[in-house]
Amino acid sequence: MKIALGVTGGVAAYKAAELVRRLQQEKLDVQAVMTRAAQEFITPLTFAALTGQKVITEIFSAENAAPANVESAIEHIAVAQRIDLLLVAPATADSLAKFAQGLAGDFLSTLYLATKAPVVVAPAMNVNMWEHAATQENLATLRARGVHVVAPDEGYLACGMVGAGRLASTDAIVLKVRDVLGLRHDLDGQTVLITAGPTCEDIDPVRFLTNRSSGKMGYALAEAAQRRGARVILVSGPTDLKIPEGADWVPVRTTEQMHQAVRERAAEANIVVMAAAVSDYRPAATHEQKMKRDDGGLTLTLEPTPDILAELGREKGQRVVVGFAAETNNVAENARGKLARKSADMIVANDVTQEGAGFDTDTNIVTMYLPDAPEISLPKMNKFDVANRIFDQALSIRKNSK
Ligand code: C5P
């Protein structure tokens, strides 16, 4: 795989040299791109020697400007199409602002606009610049567009101040790159059972009770688990989503069907994640014919459905069991209650009233609740990243219980 490493003009630019080596250890082919300011801190020669490739420093270099050399004059487009990922480390406040604004005055910002590959930025700057509303707003814009941000560490900064702004560790940056490229294999040999989507409980042949679940969280979990090497059994209520290639896809409609499918398949799984929005009640009786309108009101009698997660929790053995909790109020209290009641190893709770969280969005804002441990609150991130954080946690539960 090929990645472009954009180096911008900050003191931490020298750390990008070490980064090249680490990326190469991941079998990644690195093309370095430097801004003019970056070259004040470290020379292109360093990167040329490390990558064995010409370093791109200018949008209109002398050779590019030659009319005969049209090919290299549109090099940014060629590079943009060739790469599997664009990593910018260190990313200065200036480069983040350019990306957020869509300015394209140099090679790197042009590459950012021209590429369809995922983008990872690792900012590094003075703490006040980092905390400035302008920088934070630019970052929010970039995050909303799907740019992955490796947040800076806190500590002593080159300017003499102490605070957030140090380039994240090489390990953290490489981990993020591997994550985004799906290069982790820590679920090799494991089977993960995931429930996803809504359930439908029929009232009569044309009407049913359901909920607003799109299945996106469950399908993101399936994709993340597969990319990390797991065999995935995806028990899914009705959704419009593409069936993940290679997954063992088990379509169901009702809670009872989901219940049966999970019962049949749970023994194969090492990790179970119940992301489905299961109906808690179903009509006590399903009418065989379409119900007719009457002058009076209508009362539907509902009965509880089997609690699949609670049943699984009771018989979980060595299995790690993760549940979800979609809440509209008292999130923490309800999630902790479910953790205990369902004997789960983790409850992933989200407040579905928040913008960017819950049903039918591509992002989620979740908190992970674990028994006898403080909760872990994650910022708004896309569901694929949330899925990876859930598996990180599930793996550490497995390790600790061994
Ligand atoms: O109690 P509540 O429905 O809010 O719990 C949510 C969690 O329990 C989710 O993980 C959901 O998939 C699971 N669940 C279940 N069977 C039910 C109801 C919920 O497995 N009947």
| CA 291 / ligand 1 centre spacing (Å) | 29
Q: What band does 160 get if pLDDT is binned at 50, 70 and 90?
A: confident
- Ligand 1 atom at shortest distance from the alpha carbon of 255: 21
Q: What band does 402 get if pLDDT is binned at 50, 70 and 90?
A: low
Q: How far is CA 75 from the centre of its chain?
A: 31
Closest by CA to 194, choosing from 249, 310, 308, 275, is: 275
pLDDT at 66: 45
CA 316 to each of CA 109, 155, 173, 272: distance values in angstroms, whole numbers, following the listed order: 51, 43, 36, 9
Q: Mean of the per-residue pLDDT values for the chain?
A: 92
**Which one from 17, 97, 104, 159 is the annotated catalytic residue?**
159
Q: Any idea where the domains of the chain sit in the sequence?
A: 2-181, 191-287+300-401
Percent share of the chain, pLDDT over 70: 96
| CA 274 / ligand 1 centre spacing (Å) | 7
pLDDT digits (tens, 9 = 90+) for 255-283: 999 999 999 999 999 999 999 999 999 99
Q: What is the residue with the minimal CA distance to atom 6 of ligand 1?
A: 325
CB under 8 Å to 277, separation ≥6 — which residues? 197, 198, 199, 211, 212, 213, 237, 324, 326, 359
Q: What band does 163 get if pLDDT is binned at 50, 70 and 90?
A: confident
Distance between CA atoms of 370 and 392, rounded to whole angstroms?
13
Question: Range with the lowest mean pLDDT among 74-78, 284-288, 299-303?
Answer: 74-78
> Using CA of residue 203, residue 204, residue 207, residue 212, what is the dihedral sign?
positive
pLDDT at 234: 98
Alpha helices in 154-289 (DSSP H): 170-181, 216-227, 255-265
Architecture of domain 191-287+300-401: 3-Layer(aba) Sandwich (3.40)
pLDDT at 164: 87
| CA 348 / ligand 1 centre spacing (Å) | 11
Torsion of the alpha carbons at 256, 258, 264 and 270, rounded to the nearest 10:
-140
- Ligand 1 atom at shortest distance from the alpha carbon of 325: 6
Question: Of the residues 210, 324, 336, 368, which should be mutated to test ligand 1's pocket, given the most ligand atoms within 8 Å of the CB?
Answer: 324
| CA 356 / ligand 1 centre spacing (Å) | 22
Q: What band does 162 get if pLDDT is binned at 50, 70 and 90?
A: confident
Looking at the DSSP bridge assignments, the partners of residue 273 are: 194, 322
Token pair of 323 as six digits: 């549940």
**200: annotated active-site residue:** no
| CA 275 / ligand 1 centre spacing (Å) | 8
Closest by CA to 270, choosing from 228, 220, 216, 213, is: 228
Pocket of ligand 1 (CB under 6 A): 195, 255, 274, 276, 278, 280, 305-309, 323-325, 338
Question: Of the residues 217, 257, 308, which should be mutated to test ligand 1's pocket, given the most ligand atoms within 8 Å of the CB?
Answer: 308
Distance between CA atoms of 333 and 313, rounded to whole angstroms?
19
Q: How many CB atoms lie within 10 A of CB 59?
A: 18
Question: What is the Rg, in whole angstroms, of the alpha carbon atoms belonging to the chain?
Answer: 25
- Ligand 1 atom at shortest distance from the alpha carbon of 322: 10
Write the CATH number of the domain with boundaries 2-181.
Answer: 3.40.50.1950
pLDDT digits (tens, 9 = 90+) for 333-386: 999 999 999 999 999 999 889 998 888 889 999 999 999 999 999 999 999 999
pLDDT digits (tens, 9 = 90+) for 29-78: 999 999 999 999 999 999 999 999 999 998 766 454 444 445 455 777 88
Question: Of the residues 263, 278, 343, which should be mutated to test ligand 1's pocket, given the most ligand atoms within 8 Å of the CB?
Answer: 278
Asked if 2-181 and 191-287+300-401 have one fold, the answer is yes
